[in-house]
A = this chain, B = another copy of it.
Amino acid sequence: MTNKLNNGLVKSVSLSPPTLQDNTADADRLINSLKQQLNTDDIKTDLYLIREVPELLRKWDYSAECVLIKERNRWNLIGLAEPKGNSVISGLAVDLGTTTVVVRLIDLSTGNTLKETSFNNPQISVGPDVLARIHYSEQDGGLEKLNSLIIGSLNETISALCSSLGMEKEDIYLLSVAGNTAMTHLFLDLNPYWIIREPYIPVVNNPGILRADELGIDVNRLARILVFPNIGSYFGGDLISGILYSGLNMSDDASILVDVGTNAEVVLGNNNWLIACAGAAGPALEGGVTKMGMMAGPGVIDQVEIDADTYEFRIHTIDDMKPRGICGSGLIDLAANLFLTGMIDIRGKLVKSKCGERYLRKEDLDHLVVVSGDMSSSGKDLTITQADLDSLVRSKAAMYTILKTITSSVGMDLSDISTFYVAGTFGSYIRPESAISIGMIPDLPLERFKVLGNSSLGGATMALLSSDAVEEIEKIRDSITYIELNVNQEFMQRFSAAKFLPHTDPTLFPSVKINV
């Protein structure tokens, strides 16, 4: 009944039983049949499994469901299950975030999602960001603690997932893990000391396929873990996973992938070449930067519209709860609408006369009331300050400059971009038209924008379902050229020009029409 994946990792075999004329050993009989089916002469298996083979084959009349993984040209047989049995052969995709870890349990035979859940990265208790955790790891026992925090939480989550689905942990044969370079180090119990010290050297770029039991992960005894490779301290496996998910690397036409988190990571390329860079474009766009800025979550403003005639604010919050803050995409919507209605000028400065009662001056700062106290969750006014807007303008200018620089570096124009992929939690809420209005991203036809959502999890899921994933991932990794963004005169000129809304040269943004 299952719609088997053609190049998936679960294969059915049915063997001729041994005879005096055909006395090949049980394990070799099984492997030989798989070799034929997979057209390879290179399949390994574990002694632990070999020990079980004779009894299982006899119990199942010389048939079995086989779970395999493939690393380059070598296959590994890692599990046997009863044909038409009750167990669901499954795998777990893990987006190993600094703040949030998202996991998705997949039926490896069908590709169906069984369940998805997330948990806070428990390392937050030690330090909120990468830097704090790396410093903590330098203490005696620090690395071990960070490692056991994340492994422990993952094991608890796996346990809860399995109970809720009536599954056994032994039914999980493969994990794929995509995280930034530092999180991957802490997950693998690798010392991240040199990541943050010149010349910024990871312990390993490409850990490849590892054994789950080596990491203390409580799943099938022979389960393997595919850990996405990094390119360096600043370009992690989560981005490689995102590229895999976007399919950027499969198209003839050059596309761009932008992942905005704490940093903005940008990859440009096609099936022939990929170039990547990372820059600190995002600080203004994430929680903690503006006074009311925060991560997306219930009650957080993610969409804002301002009526051009009445200046009425139409505010949307996540889960339609009373507003308690604003996230990056809400802030971009807000800024775009403020600009289009003339409430801020082309430098991003509040225009008192247009803001009316929403304008406040307190603590020596210009404020704009986004939601008044009677409507907000806390009962206090939700405001943004001129400083918040200035910061947003710098961020959007940085983003545009990075996009301009990376396309120029290969002699392309921004208008040549065939598809503009937006990834990351931030990206899943963004409205491209607003980002265009403030000149954060180029003025491309809207249909060229594709919002990917959690592309890191998406790529990790793909890796569970294709036997060619490892090769594809290594191909992506090997074809990326990472460029350092040199903050030289040309870069600074571009940056200055981009610090206007939408840009010093408005002809670059023909679609942006100001309603004043």
Contact = CB atoms under 8 A, between A and B. Distances in A.
Identical subunits present: 2
Contact of A198 (B20, B74, B214): B20
Interface string A22-41: 11111110000000000000
A174 to B, nearest CB: 16
Contact of A232 (B23, B27, B53): B23
A210 interface: yes
Residue of A46, A207, A215, A230 with most chain B CB atoms under a 10 A cut-off: A207
A204 B26 contact: yes
A199 B20 contact: yes
Given A28-B205, A204-B27, A205-B28, A50 B199 contact: no
Interface stretch (A187-195, A379-387, A457-465): A187-195
B53 A199 contact: no
A485 to B, nearest CB: 14
B203 A51 contact: yes
A19 B47 CA distance: 42
Given A23-B232, A191-B54, A47 B205 contact: no
A345 interface: no
Contacts of A44: 71, 208
Interface string A357-372: 0000000000000000
Contacts of A18: 199, 201
Nearest to A54: B203
A54 B25 CA distance: 43
A72 interface: yes
Nearest to A32: B205
A42 interface: yes
B204 A28 contact: yes
- Bin chain A's interface residue count: 35 or more
A25 B199 contact: no
Residue of A20, A27, A46, A200 with most chain B CB atoms under a 10 A cut-off: A27
Contacts of A330: none
Contacts of A215: 47
A202 interface: yes
Contacts of A46: 214
Interface in A41-78: 42, 44, 46-48, 50-51, 53-55, 71-74
B190 A50 contact: yes
A18 B194 CA distance: 11
B27 A203 contact: yes
A456 interface: no
Nearest to A211: B47
A248 to B, nearest CB: 23
B200 A23 contact: yes
A53 B207 contact: no
A50 to B, nearest CB: 5
A303 interface: no
A205 to B, nearest CB: 4
A470 to B, nearest CB: 12
A112 interface: no
9 contacts: A25-B204, A25-B230, A27-B207, A42-B72, A44-B208, A47-B188, A51-B190, A53-B203, A54-B191
